[in-house]
Chain A
Amino acid sequence: MIPENCSQHQDWELYALGVLEGDEQRDMEAHLAFGCETCKSAYLSTQAIVSALASTAPEVELSPHSEMLFRQRLEGKPFAVLPMPEQRARWDFRTFAAWLAAAACLFTAVGLALSRLDLARELAEQKRVTAAFQQELLYVSKTNPSGTSPPDPKGDPAELRRTIEKLRIQFKAADAARLIAEQKLATVQAKLATAQERVHVLDASMKDAEAHSQKAETALADLQMQTTRLQEDAARFQQISAENERITALLDAGSLSQLDLKPVGNAHATARVYWQNDRGLLLVARSLPLLPEHASFQLWFYRHGTTDLVHVGTLTVGRSGDGLVYVPPGPALLAMSGALVTIQPQAGGSAPGQEILRIKP
């Protein structure tokens, strides 16, 4: 149940969504921080709804090797390229087997084609012989055995019959041989068709294997790019960790010096510096104003014994106007006699800009 509206604020929904800016945001933060229970309760209940929005995102699943990559990052191992020996071996074996089978089919097809040619030639020969026999039969039926003149109807009929019978037998044998040759040819043609089909299937398989191989190579390239990015992140993270250790060491120091910076003019910001000469200095600021685009907050030290200013760092500002900067130990810190925070139109400007916080020497 939503409590009655607080007389001062009704924007807990907008605050929970994170859309408030500048003074509105700071006012609500201060209001909640100073303990308006009405608004706090309303804010928490609204924050619950805001968090539920996360569950409305369409579902996406982690990839199968994401856990392995995360484990490597967790263990701080150098990011190795994911090995794919199985796929490679499988690709090689499949390719080799495909080529071998294709070669075998090709040889078979060539052999069968040659056999077919032989058979065709044999068939043609048989046909020629058959035609010759038929011609001879015709001729003999018209001529005497010597072949010099048309048969004499009054010649030896028995001899003629024997010759005709011999020719008929030879003709039948040739015809039978022709039939056998034709059958063999049909069988060879069928085998050739089967071999051609197998070659076609293997060709498709090879293309498929090539496509798989290309996909695997693309995935490998993607992973290598990811690995490079992760390595860059790891290097950046190591740098951040080193900085973290220095700041932690400073905050854990037994005796820290502390001083508040005073706002300058109409500035509402506040800041405090914590330092120890051999551990560095940390500045924490609150209620910093909104910056124009490309502007930044810069920290300067007054040099001891002078009014010279040395630029020592750029503040990092969080969402709610809080900011901080760490200065490592060194000559600048040793010679520090005061500090100044300014707004600079561009980072690293050579002269201090608008002053907002100061400890003057």
Chain B
Amino acid sequence: MRAKPEDTALLEGVGARDQDALLALYRLYGNRILSLAYRILQDRSAADEVVQDTFLKLWQRPELFNPECGVLLAWLYTVSRNLALDRKRKKSRRLMEQLVDNLDFRLKGAHVPEMAALADPLLARKVREAMNALPADQRQAIELAYFQGMSQTEISTEQGTPLGTVKTRLRLGMSKLREAMTFTNRMKP
């Protein structure tokens, strides 16, 4: 799935060093990025900084996002999640860390997943409902992984369960989320 046409036009502006184009994207997606950053950090001022850092990254390295490969919002979510989790772990983001991540993007092809969900409010709502419908331990495991950036070992410690149980919970939870998205996709005309 390609980037939306309006995003593509604004991204071309960003590539041409048009600040107004970047600010238009900031206004379009800033609230959603802030929502994710705040969910992870639970600190308003830190979340505001993550939002700025995310859009600055796009400004400084627009070539890191390829409009042919995916949806801009998915890329913004990915970058902001990484920034928020790094800040949460209080790692200092030296340039070389950014280089390592940028190398990852370049070397692995900057795969941004096809994400109709992010552009489709109905699908996003379905994911939220599916998350709320999960058993508490499965939902918690997924939230610890995504919003807290915990590894399977850390989740096992947090939940006080064996590693194998954590893996099972994650797989089952993800499977149910996939069903919800697949079903909603089929319902679309």
Contact = CB atoms under 8 A, between A and B. Distances in A.
Interface of A: 1-2, 11, 13-14, 17-21, 33, 44-63, 66-67, 69-71, 73-75, 222, 226, 229-230, 233, 240-241, 243-244, 247, 284, 316-320, 322-326
A324 B26 contact: no
A14 B56 contact: no
Q: Classify the interface of chain A: helix, strand, loop or mixed.
A: helix
B52 A73 contact: yes
A226 B45 contact: yes
Interface string B12-43: 00000001001100110011101110110000
Contacts of A244: 95, 99
B170 A13 contact: yes
Interface of B: 19, 22-23, 26-27, 30-32, 34-36, 38-39, 44-45, 47-49, 51-52, 55-56, 59, 74, 77-78, 81, 94-101, 103-104, 108, 111, 113-115, 117-118, 123-124, 127-128, 131, 142, 145-147, 149-153, 155, 166-167, 170-171, 174-175, 177-178, 181-182
5 contacts: A51-B118, A60-B31, A60-B44, A247-B99, A325-B96
Closest 9 A/B residue pairs (Cβ): A318-B100, A57-B39, A48-B113, A54-B77, A55-B124, A52-B117, A19-B152, A240-B95, A316-B96
B173 to A, nearest CB: 9
Nearest to A53: B146
A19 B150 contact: yes
Given A56-B127, A57-B39, A58-B39, A19 B26 contact: no
A73 B39 contact: no
B94 A67 contact: no
Given A19-B150, A74-B22, A48 B115 contact: yes
B185 to A, nearest CB: 10
Nearest to B171: A13
B94 A57 contact: no
A55 B118 contact: yes
A54 B177 CA distance: 13
Contacts of B59: 74
A81 to B, nearest CB: 16
